[in-house]
Structure 1
Amino acid sequence: MNRAAPTVVRRPRRPVAERPFLVIWEATRACPLACLHCRAEARTARHPEELDGADARRVMDQVAAFGRPGPLFVITGGDPFQRADLTDLVAHGTALGLRVAVSPSGTPTLTRENLAAVRDAGAVAISLSLDGSTAARHDAFRGVPGVWEWTLAGWRAARDLGLKVQINTTIGRDSLEDLADIAALVRREGAMLWSGFLLVPTGRGGALDPLTADEVEDALHFLYDCGAVMATKTTEGHHFRRVALQRTILDARGERPALGPLYGRLTARAASLGLFDGERRAVRRPPLDVSSGRGFVFVSHTGEVHPSGFLPLSAGNVRSRPLTEIYRESPLFTSLRDPSLLRGACGACEFKTVCGGSRSRAYGFTGDPLEADPYCAYRPGDFPHRAELRALIEGSAPCVR
């Protein structure tokens, strides 16, 4: 490996201690669905203490105060289309110079007209959830019949309207054996990005059966394989960055990782579907080194500031303290940006500065956000090719927006 090291993991261009790469605002918890994993435990009615339009505009003003180019600003829920002022808020954020994306639910509000309205207001992308390759699978997980059809129709409409579309899939017990079929559907329909969300036991998700670390490892390696034919990423699966580094080195050496039976079943199913047939991506999309409190911040429907929507510890409220101060100075956020504070296997791991594990999942399982991520199967020190690993980590490039 004498040639220049490839960029395997991207880093934000600007220091994450000074500004986040991504800000997610929970516009409302109102949503007509009853998803089994919902971190927000959404209800049909809007919360009486929800940030109103003036509060929401102040939040976006605070996001813009981080400087230009501003963080990516994602409006999520619940279902953001439950707010009548959604397009006005998108327009306000856009006028501030923010790149605004919207994450709607697959409901009857996901219409071409509504999507066109947020596009015309300045939204650059949407993200939609797809947790099953069939209507029966997806609708059972989402708790309402018809969601799969609404999602597919909205997906196609958004694509036709010129909006970028990210598809999010919960990787849990219900979807694990369906991942190859979901991947084939995403590739066939077309998406800017497919994100695999590794379940965190918070909200309703706390009642779902956890995966084993070995199952997660197999799923992450399958996602890495899918990256050869479509852009893939993970949410709360930070060890996907470790997998990308390991696989890059192993592939260059002509070696294969030792994986489990789930990986074998998924790859066999993918082969039968022709998932990896045809044109390959010229360049693999490198995962981005961003995680809870470290390049990422979440503002709740009532203004509470969390390192992640899946890490329900508040560092303050935007109604009483500017988001810039909370993000830069709160002890919770500063501790999450210090890998030397990590405990257990994550603290001992040679990948901790570029992975760090899911702080949300550590908190969900142990009550301590600095503990080890129980979904990681890697044993610190087991990867043998240290010189190549150092070269790749040192060669990790800043993200170019």
Structure 2
Amino acid sequence: MEFIPFAISWNITSRCNLACQHCYIDAGCRDGGLPGDLRTDDIMKILPGIAAVNPGAVLILTGGEPMAHGDIYEICAKASSLGLMVVLGTNGTLLNPSSAKRLKECGVSGVGVSIDSLDEKIHDQFRGSPGSLKASMRGLLAARDAGLEIQVQTTAINANIDELPLVAEWAHKIGAKAFNVFFLVCTGRGQTMTDISPQSYEKVLKWASRVRNDFPGMMVRPKCAPHFKRILYEEDKNHPLLSTYIAACRAGTQYCRIDPSGVVTPCPYMDVPAGDLRTSEFGDVWKGSAVLEKYRSPKLGGKCGLCAFRLLCGGCRARAYANLGDEMGEDAYCAYEPSGREEAITSIDTVAKFGGGSEPSSNWSPEAEAIINKIPVFARSIVRLAVEKHSREHGAVLITPELLKAAAPSGGWGRPQPANAPPPKKAEEIPWDDDAYARTKNAPDFVRPGIYKLMQKRGAERGKNRIDDAFLSEIRDESMMLVSKRMKKTGFDELSMQSWNAAKDRFSKNAGRVETINRIVEFLDGREKKNEAIISKFKSYLEDDSPVVGWTPDAKSRLNKVPENFRDMAKTYIEKESLKKGYRMITEKSFDDVMNELPFAKMMTGGQ
């Protein structure tokens, strides 16, 4: 069987700006790398060799802190130009709008940022630097806003194990594509740390299985936790995730690591040299290393060698090495106890990893091959095996795009919308309270129809049963804010007759707009009594330079009560979610509507 590296983790530097308690390469708080670190030109020479073995591989650039490498952008651009899918594993503290934008321009696909707790004390202590949580959160949001896919990475420790559901909720709310739960391997600086118990390990894995469908658009993925496959099998022998890449250990079979000095190891947590890229090509090491070969035909010891899940799971080899000094020993952190030597359970995933399938390969049409080649390389072999199994079961001689679609779970790899879906029902008109309707009589005749239409639209967007006085005021304030922003674009900076005249000059070629301005001026001049409160509010909106949405003074006051380390994140999130809900002005009510949906609202608002 040919073994292809789907993912390579590369510690491109040993320099780092933090001092994390569990760091497996003992990086931290050093401005320069260690003397043995590869130079940039060495890195550039190695990259083509990786692409030659698998041009679609996922290249995880990490450290240390990858953003601390002086040539990070050049390295990313080179790797991306070779067809590699580049992602960064980072603490996020050095990410900002400018650096995130540049990473995107260099072809980086996404970033994984470590957030170990929403409690500043826990996270900062674990990461060895005060203020690191706040900086990491800002960096994560900067990456998201630059168009990079974001993943939140949390290491499960005793101090945060009960908080994992909360961190997952937060990750989903900010738009993370994955929430990765890492399990500690006591190596490097983490050698003296105490891992969570096997029982806690089991508890977290069962939670991850239970909530896997609770966060649309975000995967919950245990990492360095091959036991997750056993949990899934015990839950459902036909569980769809059993036939995926998720959770299983790929060390030496479809995954490896390159350390800062260019040495290849089976995974980041094992300093077991498989080859040196200063003197050898990556392809020669990958295909010819006796060290890596051990993982491709594993002879597991202890209970792992007896276990029915030895192919599906196989235990964490790094944890066995850290505890016993034997990478083929048993993983003591697994709670499962085999009853003698059990028959090995196999699946499409185990065949993709170790081989063993006796069925001949099917014939693929060029069109079907083109489709499957668009699937990410790390999942392609598993999908191919699943489709070929489906074709044999149905007696198909040739795999076509139609059969590829039929073999996909839940009706398709991309689920199409029904062609004959019924047209949406016309919404019924929302009734008005008498006092709210009476207030509209104060508006000019030519404005009133627009008010009625807007109130129906906003009411439907926000699920209103009636249009009352408070809701009318809220939408009025939003509308004033929007108008003020449009006025500023046309040159308005104050409320005066000179401004109206300037507007007429600007739109002199548009008779309709000039007529509208004349009617507004005529209406204002004809009013016996001016509403000074409204005029003052309108002036405040003209002075507001907020680029996205407006904030009322009361809402701004509420925002200022959010703890400082969460304030920027809260502001960004509230503005984003308010726009989704149709709010153009953030009032106290819209502030509450957004915050009430957050499970961590009290934490962010200081209990307000």
- TM beyond 0.5: yes
Alignment-derived partner of residue 73 in structure 2: 87
Q: Deviations over 1:339-379 (max 9, x none)?
A: 3x011111111111121111100000000000011111112
- State which drifts further: 240-249 or 312-321: 240-249
Separation in 1, partners of 2:222, 2:289: 26
Contact 2:300 2:329 in 1 (8 A): yes
Separation in 1, partners of 2:51, 2:239: 42
- Structure 2 residue aligned with 1:194, among 179, 189, 200? 179
Aligned pairs for 1:69-84 within 5 A:
70-84=56-70
Alignment-derived partner of residue 35 in structure 2: 48
Alignment TM-score, normalising by the size of structure 1: 0.81
Separation in 1, partners of 2:25, 2:349: 35
Separation in 1, partners of 2:239, 2:309: 19
Superposition RMSD in Å = 2.5
- Structure 2 residue aligned with 1:342, among 300, 321, 326? 300
Structure 2 SS opposite 1:291: coil
Identity %: 29
Separation in 2, partners of 1:72, 1:392: 21
- Structure 2 residue aligned with 1:61, among 48, 65, 75? 48
Number of matched pairs: 349
1:201–1:219 CA distance, 2 compared to 1 (3 A) = same
Residue 124 of structure 1 pairs with residue 83 of structure 2: no
Aligned pairs for 1:1-400 within 5 A:
17-43=2-28, 44=30, 45-68=32-55, 70-107=56-93, 109-230=94-215, 231-249=219-237, 287=246, 289-339=248-298, 341-381=299-339, 398-399=381-382
Q: Deviations over 1:90-112 (max 9, x none)?
A: 110111111111122232x2212
- State which drifts further: 298-307 or 155-164: 155-164
1:248–1:86 CA distance, 2 compared to 1 (3 A) = same
Structure 2 SS opposite 1:128: strand
Contact 2:228 2:247 in 1 (8 A): no
Q: Deviations over 1:12-71 (max 9, x none)?
A: xxx6x5321100111111112111101111131311221111111122111111034x21
> In the TM superposition, what is the alpha-carbon distance from 1:245 to its structure 2 partner?
2.1
> In the TM superposition, what is the alpha-carbon distance from 1:290 to its structure 2 partner?
4.2
Contact 2:302 2:330 in 1 (8 A): yes
Separation in 2, partners of 1:135, 1:217: 27
Structure 2 SS opposite 1:314: coil
1:156–1:367 CA distance, 2 compared to 1 (3 A) = same
Contact 2:225 2:249 in 1 (8 A): no
Structure having the higher Rg: 2
Alignment-derived partner of residue 258 in structure 1: none
Contact 1:166 1:193 in 2 (8 A): yes
Structure 2 SS opposite 1:103: strand
> In the TM superposition, what is the alpha-carbon distance from 1:392 to its structure 2 partner?
7.5
Separation in 2, partners of 1:88, 1:233: 30
1:250–1:49 CA distance, 2 compared to 1 (3 A) = closer
Separation in 1, partners of 2:143, 2:382: 26
1:392–1:291 CA distance, 2 compared to 1 (3 A) = closer
Question: Partner letter of residue 91 of structure 1?
Answer: A
Question: Partner letter of residue 366 of structure 1?
Answer: L
Contact 2:15 2:63 in 1 (8 A): yes
Separation in 1, partners of 2:13, 2:158: 28
1:394–1:368 CA distance, 2 compared to 1 (3 A) = closer
Contact 1:346 1:373 in 2 (8 A): yes
Separation in 1, partners of 2:125, 2:7: 31
Separation in 1, partners of 2:225, 2:99: 32
Separation in 2, partners of 1:300, 1:18: 21
Question: Partner letter of residue 325 of structure 1?
Answer: D
Question: Partner letter of residue 216 of structure 1?
Answer: Y
Q: Deviations over 1:255-306 (max 9, x none)?
A: xxxxxxxxxxxxxxxxxxxxxxxxxxxxx98625442112111001100111
Contact 1:78 1:105 in 2 (8 A): no
Structure 2 SS opposite 1:320: coil
> In the TM superposition, what is the alpha-carbon distance from 1:139 to its structure 2 partner?
0.9
1:92–1:331 CA distance, 2 compared to 1 (3 A) = same
Separation in 1, partners of 2:89, 2:207: 25
Contact 2:95 2:142 in 1 (8 A): no
1:356–1:365 CA distance, 2 compared to 1 (3 A) = same
Q: 5+ residue gaps in structure 1?
A: 1-14, 253-283
Alignment TM-score, normalising by the size of structure 2: 0.54
Structure 1 SS opposite 2:332: coil
Question: Partner letter of residue 300 of structure 1?
Answer: D
- State which drifts further: 210-219 or 354-363: 210-219
Question: Partner letter of residue 296 of structure 1?
Answer: Y
Separation in 1, partners of 2:270, 2:288: 18
More relative contact order, 1 or 2 (CA 8 Å, 6+ apart): 1
Separation in 2, partners of 1:192, 1:399: 21
1:332–1:142 CA distance, 2 compared to 1 (3 A) = same
Separation in 1, partners of 2:351, 2:304: 22
1:57–1:131 CA distance, 2 compared to 1 (3 A) = same
Structure 1 SS opposite 2:276: coil
- State which drifts further: 235-244 or 367-376: 235-244
Could you list the runs of 4 or more consecutive aligned residues of structure 1 that deviate by over 6 angstroms after TM superposition? Answer: 391-397
Q: Deviations over 1:230-263 (max 9, x none)?
A: 31112211111221222224999xxxxxxxxxxx
Q: 5+ residue gaps in structure 2?
A: 353-378, 385-608
Separation in 2, partners of 1:104, 1:58: 23
> In the TM superposition, what is the alpha-carbon distance from 1:160 to its structure 2 partner?
1.5
